[in-house]
Structure 1
Amino acid sequence: MTTINKKKVVFIMGCTGTGKSKLSVDVGTQFPSEIINSDKIQVYKGLDIITNKIPEPKRHGVPHHLLGIIDDPDMDYAENDFCQHVLEALDMITENGHLPIIVGGSNRYLEALVEDPKNEFRSKYDSCFIWLDVSLPVLFDYLSKRVDEMVEGGLIEEVREAFVHEADYSKGIRRAIGLPELHKYFQAEKELVEDGEIYKEDLLRDCIQEMKDNTNKLAALQLRKIHKLREELGWEMHRIDGTKVFETVLSGKLAENVWDEIVLKPSLGIVRSFLNLNVEE
């Protein structure tokens, strides 16, 4: 089947914490590109630490779409909303003559975008799926480390400012891992006086551990979904194994050279081939 008249789109997929945002920017700086966020929590404004939005300086000038576009923290951002926004962004990016790079971990939303006939996605776009994979035991250790770093970076203070006693954690940005887990801690913080300090410290430690456990569960769920897209729906994915990068990070060593060699270099080669560019260019 010829794809000569189709517009090209790159997808960067993977579990939470595998480096998708970094890879999207690294690729985006090598081609005239614009990035579309496909994380259903990062579409909401605010709580940048807990939602892991890529900071402006790390975007290196590559335009980003669908980041922090929803003001109402309780609004349900459904698959249809996502598909509509992505299709609008795709039209804008391709009209600019740029390569769209769709990146994020909400794989159910990606399935809706690609597979729902009403979107006519497959008839309009030629897709390249890059799957950034990391061995789960290694990824679990890294994700726990990342939660600790988020706490050190001000996560508790960020969530405290957004705390609502009667919050509904089943919708909107409040579904983000960290908000429901910390609810009981902030509730105790408001109710207990000084003689409850030891209890609150223990409670906070338990809440942070629950965040780590739930983040690991999310990663495992995302991996199962990726396997379903590949094996049951036939998505042809280019798997990049980034495990060695994270082993290097966990050992306390600098991993940039390892990243460049085993993740970035092959990814650039895949994109160049997809765009029918000379690999030497």
Structure 2
Amino acid sequence: MAACKQVQPLVNFPGVPVLNMEPLFRRKDKVVIVVGATGTGKSRLSIDLATRFPAEIINSDKMQVYKGLDIVTNKVTEEECRGVPHHLLGIVDPNSNFTANDFCHHASLAMESVADRDRLPIIAGGSNSYIAALVNHHAEFRLKYECCFLWVDVSLPVLHSFVSDRVDRMVEAGLVEEVMKMFDPRADYSRGIRRAIGVPELDKYLREGATADERTRARILKAAIAKIKENTCMLACRQLQKIDRLHSQWEWNMHRLDATEVFLKRSSQEADEAWEKLVAGPSSIIVNQFLYNDDRVGTIMSHEAAAAVIGAPVPMAAIAAATR
């Protein structure tokens, strides 16, 4: 990756001011961007990749950037990080508003720091508005970086079932108690971390539960949890619509990885094998080609014509043939 930082000499002609040709000839640094609807496994994939390549992860989830509410915002645990450094994760005051412009500024600093250590920045998170602002509208980013997009996709009916179950697990892990600790009846749910799904939905329960009888409390809580599930599913739909629009802009370098089978097998021992076969393995090969122009992956791409180029999953038969 150090080869990406070669500097060209100054060009000088008699009587003409010295021209710095570096901006014209300097090769761009590289960045991998992992996108997908909530619950599809973006964090898992980014960490998998960061254990296979010299890389660090930059969070692009607009709720996980705030301090606190680790269960509600589903932040990765220290164990799940597997020693991989993470940036922009739990760093912002929960009452402030962290905007897309803020993200672009802090993400740029993080990427520069990571690249200066000859490591690969991997941006991962569900806030596609942050990604769009960075890639489409941040001039410095466009000048300095070349992108590879990995899109982890799951069939919506299957994903809805998974995120519903995940909400139940989050409740069991202490979601309600976590929100209760920061409850403020005067709070503004349009600012900061209180916008996170799981906080506004519990407002009625936290306001009325203390004085209600046990049966009423249970009914209000059940309705709140159902609303959390509904809003999470609606979020997944909106995110997918946004990714479809972004795909039309970036399809030349966006690779879609269908993880539906992984989620269908999530209750069995075959889930990890499916993840490696359908998501982690193909992603590793795509990133390897992106970083090092691996000829074997070029064979895979040409072998399947334009399919992989426009984002279809890399066929496992081709991968197996290339890696034997």
Take 1:173 and 1:4, find their aligned partners in 2: how far apart are those partners?
40
**Number of aligned pairs?**
273
Q: What is the aligned partner in structure 1 of residue 104 from structure 2? A: 83
- The partner residue of 1:274 within 270, 278, 290 is 290
Take 1:198 and 1:60, find their aligned partners in 2: how far apart are those partners?
43
> What displacement does 1:77 show?
0.5
Q: What is the aligned partner in structure 1 of residue 70 from structure 2? A: 48
Matched, 1:103 2:121: no
Matched, 1:178 2:198: yes
* Corresponding residue SS for 2:147: strand
Deviations 1:192-220 (A, max 9, x none): 3xxx1101101100100000000000000
Q: What is the aligned partner in structure 2 of residue 151 from structure 1? A: 171
> What displacement does 1:233 show?
6.0
Give ranges in structure 2 of 5+ residues lacking alignment. 1-23, 297-322
Take 1:257 and 1:133, find their aligned partners in 2: how far apart are those partners?
17
Q: What is the aligned partner in structure 1 of residue 299 from structure 2? A: none
Moved >6 Å (runs of 4+):
none
Give matches, 1:109-120, under 5 Å.
Answer: 109-117=130-138, 119-120=139-140
Q: What is the aligned partner in structure 1 of residue 231 from structure 2? A: 214
Cα pair 1:3 1:126 within 8 Å, conserved: no
Q: What is the aligned partner in structure 1 of residue 243 from structure 2? A: 226
Give ranges in structure 1 of 5+ residues lacking alignment. none
* Corresponding residue SS for 1:228: helix
**Amino acid in structure 1 at the alignment position of 2:214:** E
Deviations 1:118-152 (A, max 9, x none): x3212210100000000000000000000001011
Query: What's the Cα RMSD here?
Result: 1.7
Identity within the alignment, %: 51
Q: What is the aligned partner in structure 1 of residue 81 from structure 2? A: 59
- The partner residue of 2:37 within 4, 7, 15 is 15
Take 1:209 and 1:101, find their aligned partners in 2: how far apart are those partners?
34
Q: What is the aligned partner in structure 2 of residue 32 from structure 1? A: 54
Cα pair 2:34 2:150 within 8 Å, conserved: yes
**Amino acid in structure 1 at the alignment position of 2:72:** I
Deviations 1:40-96 (A, max 9, x none): 10010111000010001111111000000012x220101111000000001100000
Matched, 1:239 2:261: no
> If the length of structure 2 is used for normalisation, what is the TM-score?
0.81
* Corresponding residue SS for 2:215: helix
Question: Mean Cα displacement is larger for which, 260-269 or 229-238?
Answer: 229-238
* Corresponding residue SS for 1:190: coil
Per the alignment, do residues 4 and 14 of structure 1 end up closer, same or farther by CA in structure 2, a change over 3 Å counting?
Answer: farther
Take 2:102 and 2:203, find their aligned partners in 1: how far apart are those partners?
28
> What displacement does 1:110 show?
0.7
Q: What is the aligned partner in structure 2 of residue 257 from structure 1? A: 273
**Amino acid in structure 2 at the alignment position of 1:240:** L
Take 2:247 and 2:142, find their aligned partners in 1: how far apart are those partners?
16
Cα pair 2:147 2:253 within 8 Å, conserved: no
Take 1:220 and 1:206, find their aligned partners in 2: how far apart are those partners?
21
Cα pair 2:72 2:198 within 8 Å, conserved: yes
Take 2:134 and 2:51, find their aligned partners in 1: how far apart are those partners?
25
**Amino acid in structure 2 at the alignment position of 1:253:** S
Question: Mean Cα displacement is larger for which, 224-233 or 178-187?
Answer: 224-233
> What displacement does 1:234 show?
5.2
- The partner residue of 1:164 within 179, 184, 199 is 184
Instruction: Point out which structure has higher relative CO (alpha carbons under 8 A, 6+ apart).
Output: 1
**Amino acid in structure 2 at the alignment position of 1:86:** A
* Corresponding residue SS for 1:267: helix
- The partner residue of 2:150 within 122, 130, 140 is 130
